[in-house]
Structure 1
Amino acid sequence: MGKNCFFLVARPLLSIQSQFVEFANHGSLEKHGFARSRVWSIDPDPPPFSANSSSQACVDLILKHSEEEVKIWPHRYEFRLRITLGPGGDLMLTSRIRNTNTDGKSFAFTFAYHTYFAVSDISEVRVEGLETLDYLDNLKDKERFTEQGDAITFESEVDKVYLSTPTKIAILDHERKRTFVLRKDGLPDAVVWNPWDKKAKAMADFGDDEYKHMLCVEAACVEKPIILKPGEEWRGRQEISAVPSSYCSGQLDPKKVFQSD
């Protein structure tokens, strides 16, 4: 599952790819952007860590344009990614993308953290926090709809981009009595995807039955591309934590999760 993953943490739980440039029409660029398939370097000059970083494990990675990339996307950029793992296992990804063009040109891009969550059984999973929101359905030529259910459940293939989403989303795995809480900043949209059986069988790097045990919920910026002038920088952040409870257990009320700081 996801053999081209840029970053992998706690493989039984989740895997993450960083997608840049993504979703928008960028001609000859690969479907999910080029950042996920490039070789990154350790950042030799990272920005200062926060005061409470002594209890965290952090690493800073950096990706810059190459002359080969400039041929297919004629812009120069600097992409810095900070990966932070908290003492309780919380994972935070902070991305900073800067326009380093010297020709005075702005550029636009869209972005997503392509996050695969491992679940016990997709039919026993609920996603809370996206109800009543508008979404673009990629299975229906990006037609716009409004979510009608009180939560998202799964009975067939899903590929939707939810718009103007809250800063917190919960993925509830009833069977394992575990809830993933996804917090995000600078990423107004959220992608929800599961290929289901037919598409899973058609994917070369995806097991025929793996769709039953995964769900992709992505913090993203899709509807309105980010535009950077030379010298400008964009920041986006995603934090994931796992709570040993579920909606059914009564130990966690998802609505309170969304309302908390």
Structure 2
Amino acid sequence: MRGGIPLCFPQFNQRGPLPKHGFARNLAWAAQAPLSDTEQDATVLRLRLHSSPTTRAIWPHDFKAQLALTLGEGLLRVQLDVCNTSKTLWEFTAALHTYLAVDAVESTRLEGLEGCARWDAVRDQHGLQSGAVTIAGEYDRVFRAPVQPMRLHDGPHSLQISQSQSLGSTVVWNPGASLSSRLPDLPADGYRSMLCVEAAQIDELVPLAPAERWQGWQELRVL
């Protein structure tokens, strides 16, 4: 769970009755034929997950989900599509819990969230972001997602991060030294080489009527 892009669905964190972050990240997804195809000089891999006795034992709703992974030169786009295949309306939250490798987190700078409303989960404080995001200790904040793409600067490297309007929040997280030392699946100094910049829909539940579809994506582009 401490790398890649764990998928939080149909619940983010412990904001609800389900296990933390739901069940989608813990289940095997099936590759959808054809295994991959090419679109505009990029390779697309599609994975699918649907309701089953395993999911219904946790969450009593029918659904179909597809994850489309587009990989091109200097580009990664992850898109989640969800469809309600039951006969009643249900609600969900979701997040692409993206882990990014960095050389030294204390030297990184995330631009593009200036002026965005934020909630500091560590201190339980609300406010507006002033200046670029920098990391000095445990950091866990939920921002209102910006309209324009963000830029993460990591030494000589820069990454553009954008997300769909259907994912209304951006979560920035780093456990810091103290929490990192207590996480059994992260090295004690693992916090120094990672930063999570997540595209999420968590403050408001997404209602989905029978046969209705929802889509959300995050795109990473090397500058």
Asked if Structure 1 and Structure 2 have the same fold, meaning a TM-score greater than 0.5 normalized by the shorter chain, the answer is yes
2:110 to 124, 127, 141: 127
TM-score (norm 2): 0.92
Cα distance in structure 1, aligned partners of 2:59 and 2:171 = 24
Aligned residues: 220
Stretches of structure 1 lacking an aligned partner (at least 5 in a row): 6-14, 244-261
Cα distance in structure 1, aligned partners of 2:59 and 2:6 = 20
Q: CA deviation at 1:41?
A: 0.4
Cα distance in structure 1, aligned partners of 2:117 and 2:41 = 39
1:75 aligns with 2:61: yes
Cα distance in structure 2, aligned partners of 1:132 and 1:72 = 39
2:5 to 10, 13, 16: 16
1:151 aligns with 2:132: yes
One-letter code aligned to 1:146? L
Judged with a 3 Å threshold, the aligned counterparts in structure 2 of structure 1 residues 115 and 164 are, in CA distance, closer, same or farther, namely: closer
Counterpart residue number, 2:81? 96
1:108 to 85, 91, 96: 91
> Is the CA contact (8 Å cut-off) linking 1:160 and 1:191 kept in structure 2?
yes
Cα distance per residue 1:191-212 (max 9 Å; x no partner):
0000000100000000000111
Aligned ranges for residues 1-261 of structure 1 at < 5 Å? 2-3=1-2, 15-23=4-12, 25-27=15-17, 29-44=18-33, 53-86=39-72, 88-102=73-87, 105-141=88-124, 143-148=125-130, 150-173=131-154, 175=155, 177-185=156-164, 186-243=166-223
Identity of aligned residues (%): 32
Q: CA deviation at 1:224?
A: 1.5
Judged with a 3 Å threshold, the aligned counterparts in structure 2 of structure 1 residues 45 and 64 are, in CA distance, closer, same or farther, namely: farther
> Is the CA contact (8 Å cut-off) linking 2:139 and 2:175 kept in structure 1?
yes
One-letter code aligned to 1:91? L
Asked which structure has the greater CA Rg, the reply is 1
TM-score (norm 1): 0.79
> Is the CA contact (8 Å cut-off) linking 2:150 and 2:160 kept in structure 1?
yes
Cα distance in structure 2, aligned partners of 1:140 and 1:22 = 23
Counterpart residue number, 1:256? none
Q: CA deviation at 1:135?
A: 1.0
Question: Aligned to 1:16, what secondary structure does the other structure show?
Answer: coil
One-letter code aligned to 2:82? I
Cα distance in structure 2, aligned partners of 1:43 and 1:36 = 17
> Is the CA contact (8 Å cut-off) linking 1:166 and 1:188 kept in structure 2?
no
Stretches of structure 2 lacking an aligned partner (at least 5 in a row): none
Cα distance per residue 1:156-210 (max 9 Å; x no partner):
111111014224111111x2x1111112112121000000001000000000001
Question: Aligned to 1:92, what secondary structure does the other structure show?
Answer: strand
> Is the CA contact (8 Å cut-off) linking 2:112 and 2:148 kept in structure 1?
no
Cα distance per residue 1:232-259 (max 9 Å; x no partner):
000111111112xxxxxxxxxxxxxxxx
One-letter code aligned to 1:39? A
